[in-house]
Amino acid sequence: MTASGDQALIAAEDGLIAHLRQHAELVEGPDYRVPDDWTYRSTFHLLLALGRRFTPTPRPDDLIGMPDKDCYGNSAQYAQAHRDEGLLYAEGFALTHNGVDWYLPHAWVVRPDGTVLDPTWDDEPGQAYVGIAVADSRLWPLDGRGLLDDFKRTLPLLRDGFPCGALADLGRPLSVEGHAEALRHAPG
């Protein structure tokens, strides 16, 4: 990537992180009650504590786009089929540009070098990806409902956090503070 490309990527990621922070602030008020013993107040808090920045890359020529609006299932199934290549399922938010910037809940696949392979968006990769890379394939949502988008899966993660060793140390930290926060909330 060029210096100007690096700056554009960082600016896009910073915008996405600011979006997550804005939503986290919305659930800070007294009207949003969460038990004191929960690990994370919301999925936004979880992503700000554990999330990483992932570098978008062009889609390989041999990867044909999978069905639209099924990013969770597409990514989990693709990662499962390519586990021997070290690919992992990742979930969080992505920034896409379709005439206007959109911050969307999304899932993708992460290579061992922390770069994104997006099996769903077949035109161009997103401009920025912030999320978690899941090392424990037992957690991958092969049914397509997502970890942070399906109440039955999300609730235990907010309450108890991820099992020890469930997340991969791939991608780049959101910030020095975010990395320190993640270490404070790491179970085990």
Q: Are 146 and 77 in contact (CB under 8 A)?
A: no
Task: Report pLDDT for 99.
Answer: 64
Q: Can you read off the two tokens belonging to residue 88?
A: 């992992």
Task: Report pLDDT for 91.
Answer: 98
Closest CA to 107 of 138, 66, 156, 158: 66
pTM of the model: 0.89
Task: Report pLDDT for 187.
Answer: 43
Task: Report pLDDT for 87.
Answer: 97
Task: Report pLDDT for 166.
Answer: 98
Residues 6+ apart with CB under 8 A from 29: none
CA 188 from chain centre, in angstroms, equals: 22
Beta sheet of 172-173, edge-to-edge order: 116-117, 101-110, 88-97, 128-134, 52-54, 172-173
pLDDT in tens, 27-43: 887 888 889 899 999 99
| Measured distance CA(33)–CA(167) in Å, rounded | 27
Closest CA to 35 of 187, 154, 159, 185: 159
Low-confidence ranges of the chain (pLDDT < 70): 1, 64, 67, 97-99, 122-124, 176-188
